[in-house]
Structure 1
Amino acid sequence: MITLEFKLKGKAHQYRIIDEMIRTAQFVRNKTLKYWTENQGVKLVDLYKQCAIMAKEFEWAGKLNSMARQASAERAIFAIQRFFANCKAKKTGKKGYPQFKKHTRSVEYKTSGWLLSTDKKCLTFKDGFAAGKFKLIGIRDLHFYAPDEIKRIRVVRRADGYYAQLCINVERKEESVPTGKVIGIDVGLNYFYTDSDGETVSNPRYLRKSEKALKRLQKQVSRKKKGSGNRKKAINKLGRKHLKVSRQRKDFAIKTALCAVKSSDFIAYEELQVRNMVKNHKLAKSISDAAWSQFGEWLQYFGKVYGKTVIAVAPQYTSQDCSNCGNLVKKTLSTRTHICGCGAVLDRDHNAARNILAKGLKPAGINLNTVGHTEINAWGQTDLYSLVAASTSKSTG
């Protein structure tokens, strides 16, 4: 499944209709959730039936396509299922009890209620709201995909306009050229990441660089009268700036992950619990700005697309253990150099990256410290062991 995004170009009254569609989808989702809270023990399958009931009870709700109503109800159902799954898994902290939504920004259609033009450059919504035809603005070519391959269309409202996300049921595969390289990646705040070869990627810090502009725009919002047109304009300017920062961060994560996957045959990275780490109020902003979770998700995605092995390993003791002898060398966060009694002197993140690579290779029966001996390769890649030896000699040389 891939998702292609296009900007919707239409008239002002069409955008107002989309806002009504989004409000209706939010109403269906909240009404479904309310029915579940008032009828404990009801089966989740029965919540779908409420969509038809709402269409008869509220005329304006009936304008929304039937499958779009079902998709809105699914949002409530997924929230309920996630809550039960967290309770069953005994997840620490809050379990995520489903909440009513107040500021929904999207509405989702399935396989009906919309129509693509023959040249696949326009999208028409043909349910009761009759939003009409919109021009699709984007660089992707939809001629590669049949209309029946489009399983869902999500309309999203953002600060700079309205977008259509087309979910297409195709599997993306790209040809890759073996590079003969294996790496471990340690993410951090000084550098975005350091790999097991000692190579580093600088941290762009997009939020930090935009803080002054964001503060100025936030002051402009605070000075405007509530409910006024000028306040709405100021809020939109602030939203556009936040949107730019988030797009910069996403673009950097995608390009960095793609570069790492293309340049390596095997990647091991640390799977950090960012949700817990941001509880540290002194580092929360910097951690959120780094977008480590997003980077890890794109590593996994591109690993599948290019047929590369990408493994997430637990981060425990990767910074404290010596990558050369395995001894525990305790150090605080301010200690940036790893110094061990065995004679190993490495940058803290470089040492951690080597430990992460060793953890990632452990399922294959490969030990970085005994790489000269014969080992069993669980992946069946005959040259993987020699790649580890070559990579290790480079990083230690």
Structure 2
Amino acid sequence: MRKSYKFRLYPTKEQEIVLVKTLDVCRYIYNEFLADRRNAYDRCNKGLTTFDQINQVKYLEFKTKVFSQVKQDVLRRLGKSFDAFFRRCRSGGTAGYPRFKGKDRYNSFTYPQSGFKIEDNKLKLSKIGKIKIKQHREIEGKVKTCSIKRDTNQWYAVFSVDMEKNPEKVNPNTSIGIDVGLKSCVTLSNGEQYDSPAYYRKSEKCLAVQQKRLSRKKKGSNNRNKQRQKVAKVHRKIRNQRLDFNHKLSRAIVNRFDRTVFEDLSIRNMVKNHHLAKSIKDVAWGQLIQMTKSKAEEAGKYVELVNPCNTSQKCSNCGNIVKKGLAVRVHKCPECGLELDRDVNAAINILNLCTVGTTDRACGVTDVGLGYEAGSHPF
């Protein structure tokens, strides 16, 4: 099992200049060898492989010294881009030919095997030096790669770790069905609901002010570049807030339940509705589900995705289909007389569709002590 650890870096001004120059070298290599691949196919009708280009990159010399394996990893990254391009061509999707990377569009480089080491609260990088690192927790497992990433004016080190042993699977004694939505971020089959913080919606006014100022700056000027970074910082704050919320919520779910059941939603198709797209992206259902899956895997627990067809229309008590629009928030069954919140009804139906283990599926309640009031956050 693979796991990632992300730590903040605090380079000096001199070290930051070296990091930026290293990114520029990597971007130059990426663009040059992308052009080589394109020209080889256009002129000779011949494709170049990643191995062919790795043998060529060692002959390039730069003023900024870059670790050899970092340069080789750039070409593996380019090779993956072409592999994905050909895969999309075969599957009949949008091809998306690999693009040249402009300035500030190439923001990471990777040490794939060696050339990095943490010692005395500093990250030692080959050809760069020792950079102060905020290691807020211990790294478990065997470190495989180290990626250095730039996010506006901040730098991070991301370690990919190979966990030596997979955790033993637990007996799924406690289960929960979860219906994701816009009014409530998640609705549990036991009746609990947690409202979405809607961080983007709350920051729209601030973002509009910064974007308006950006539109007034002269293109190519230093003031425009400074303002562009201010806009990026607002987006970064929104992204980090959403990330923090989903991390805490997914952790609370995994800690409380042995098995979690979500709908297998096609979010890419759902955001084609321009009336709901902004709200759907703001709640980030896909991110929450992915985080829950990764945490459950680490804990030896289960996450199951079920078919979302008619989960909101079907009565969780008798199975009768009760048609209702999005504006109708209460489920009322004319057959059995069941009346409850439509999202709770959907969550119970989602739980009833799961296939692993046993639980009291009729009401969707497990033997977990809840301890939280509806509408509050479980963290």
Q: Alpha carbons of 1:390 and 1:337: their partners in 2 closer, same or farther (altered >3 Å)?
A: closer
> Which residue identity does 2:16 align to in structure 1?
Y
- The question of 1:60 aligning with 2:59 is answered no
Q: Contact 2:348/2:362 (CA < 8 Å) preserved in 1?
A: no
Q: Alpha carbons of 1:140 and 1:43: their partners in 2 closer, same or farther (altered >3 Å)?
A: farther
Correspondent of 2:349 among 350, 355, 358 = 355
- The question of 1:338 aligning with 2:311 is answered no
* Corresponding residue of 2:287: 294
Q: Contact 2:352/2:362 (CA < 8 Å) preserved in 1?
A: no
1:180 deviates by 4.3
Give me the CA root mean square deviation.
Answer: 2.7
CA distance in 1 between partners of 2:190 and 2:131 (Å): 50
CA distance in 1 between partners of 2:201 and 2:19 (Å): 34
* Corresponding residue of 1:48: 51
Residues 261-280 of structure 1 aligned to structure 2 (within 5 Å): 261-280=254-273
CA distance in 2 between partners of 1:141 and 1:393 (Å): 35
Name the structure, 1 or 2, with higher relative contact order (CA <8 Å, separation 6+). Answer: 2
CA distance in 2 between partners of 1:60 and 1:360 (Å): 57
- The question of 1:23 aligning with 2:17 is answered no
* Corresponding residue of 1:285: 278
* Corresponding residue of 1:111: 113
Say which SS state the counterpart of residue 191 (structure 1) adopts. coil
Q: Alpha carbons of 1:211 and 1:47: their partners in 2 closer, same or farther (altered >3 Å)?
A: same
* Corresponding residue of 1:140: 137
- The question of 1:124 aligning with 2:124 is answered yes
> Which residue identity does 2:34 align to in structure 1?
L
Q: Contact 2:317/2:362 (CA < 8 Å) preserved in 1?
A: no
* Corresponding residue of 1:150: 143
> Which residue identity does 1:98 align to in structure 2?
P
> Which residue identity does 1:273 align to in structure 2?
S
TM-score, normalised via structure 2 length? 0.86
> Which residue identity does 2:129 align to in structure 1?
G
1:242 deviates by 1.0
| Identity across the alignment (%) | 36
Query: Over residues 230-263 of structure 1, what are the superposed CA-to-partner deviations in whole Å (9 max), with x where a residue is unaligned?
Result: 3222222221111111011011111111111111
CA distance in 2 between partners of 1:316 and 1:247 (Å): 33
CA distance in 2 between partners of 1:229 and 1:172 (Å): 51
CA distance in 1 between partners of 2:209 and 2:64 (Å): 44
Q: Alpha carbons of 1:175 and 1:353: their partners in 2 closer, same or farther (altered >3 Å)?
A: same
> Which residue identity does 1:333 align to in structure 2?
L
1:61 deviates by 8.5
1:108 deviates by 1.0
1:173 deviates by 7.0
Q: Alpha carbons of 1:67 and 1:181: their partners in 2 closer, same or farther (altered >3 Å)?
A: same
1:171 deviates by 4.9
Correspondent of 2:219 among 222, 226, 232 = 226
1:63 deviates by 3.4
> Which residue identity does 1:54 align to in structure 2?
V
1:49 deviates by 2.5
Say which SS state the counterpart of residue 85 (structure 1) adopts. helix
Residues 1-397 of structure 1 aligned to structure 2 (within 5 Å): 1-40=2-41, 46-56=49-59, 58-60=60-62, 63-91=65-93, 94-102=94-102, 103-117=105-119, 119=120, 121-126=121-126, 130-142=127-139, 149-171=142-164, 180-342=173-335, 343-361=337-355, 364=356, 384-386=357-359, 388=361, 391-392=364-365
Where is the helix percentage greater, Structure 1 or Structure 2? 1
1:79 deviates by 2.0
CA distance in 2 between partners of 1:224 and 1:172 (Å): 54
Q: Which moved more, 1:289-298 or 1:316-325?
A: 316-325
TM-score, normalised via structure 1 length? 0.82
Say how many residue pairs are matched: 360
1:325 deviates by 2.1
Q: Contact 1:32/1:50 (CA < 8 Å) preserved in 2?
A: yes
Q: Contact 1:71/1:109 (CA < 8 Å) preserved in 2?
A: yes
Q: Which moved more, 1:24-33 or 1:259-268?
A: 24-33
CA distance in 1 between partners of 2:99 and 2:85 (Å): 11
CA distance in 1 between partners of 2:172 and 2:307 (Å): 26
Query: Over residues 190-223 of structure 1, what are the superposed CA-to-partner deviations in whole Å (9 max), with x where a residue is unaligned?
Result: 0001111121011110001111111111122222
* Corresponding residue of 1:372: none
Unmatched segments (≥5 aa) in structure 1: 365-383
